[in-house]
Amino acid sequence: MLRIAKLTDYAAVLLTRMAADPRACASATELAQAAGIEAPTAAKVLKTLAQAGLVESRRGASGGYRLAREPAAITMADVVSAMEGPIGMTECVVHEGACGHEGRCGVQANWRRISLAVETALRAVTLADMLPKPAPRRIPLRTLTADA
């Protein structure tokens, strides 16, 4: 099964929480509580995201973390790359020369195509897209009677 690492999933959850109010600054503890993630794990993820330039950290009484860019300018490819490194389905796609079979491999070109498709899909989805959509407003309907 192909899946992202748990910390990458946590990064997406934390960033989506932050994207709901992109100008707000929140502590790692506040974000952890809002996302239902253990505080040390949230702090670790936020540190990695800060190193990748996706969030900014501010010290002091009014400090905390906030998005470094607008939610529409941060793609899921940015998030996955920050947490897991370059996007590639196989080692040879990410690091040329890493496999002793490269010269005679018949599938490397197709793994490159697949990796590019996955990266393209991740680049097409932004944090703004990840925000929950508001539920449609329900209009109460009157029950019609036979008299009406």
Q: Tell me whether residue 39 is in a domain.
A: yes
Question: Which among 71, 83, 5, 76 is positioned nearest to 44, based on CA atoms?
Answer: 83
Give how far the C-alpha of residue 136 lies from the chain's centroid of Cα atoms, to the nearest Å: 25
Q: Find the CATH number of the domain harbouring 90.
A: 1.10.10.10
Residue 76 in contact with residue 126, Cβ under 8 Å?
yes
The predicted pLDDT at position 91 comes to 79
Write down the pTM of the prediction. 0.83
Q: Tell me whether residue 23 is in a domain.
A: yes
Q: Tell me whether residue 145 is in a domain.
A: no
Please give the residue range of the domain that contains residue 91. 6-130
Domain count, the chain: 1
Q: Tell me whether residue 21 is in a domain.
A: yes
Q: Tell me whether residue 123 is in a domain.
A: yes
Helices (H) and strands (E) in the chain, counts: 7, 2
Q: Is 105 exposed, middle or buried (0-12, 13-18, 19+ CB in 10 A)?
A: middle
pLDDT tens figures, 24-41: 999 999 999 999 999 999
Q: Tell me whether residue 141 is in a domain.
A: no
pLDDT tens figures, 40-96: 999 999 999 999 999 999 888 778 999 999 999 999 999 999 999 999 888 777 877
Q: Tell me whether residue 118 is in a domain.
A: yes
Q: Tell me whether residue 65 is in a domain.
A: yes
Alpha-carbon gap, residue 118 to 93, rounded angstroms:
12
DSSP 75-132: BHHHHHHHHH-S--SSHHHHSTT--TTGGG-SSHHHHHHHHHHHHHHHHT-BHHHHSP
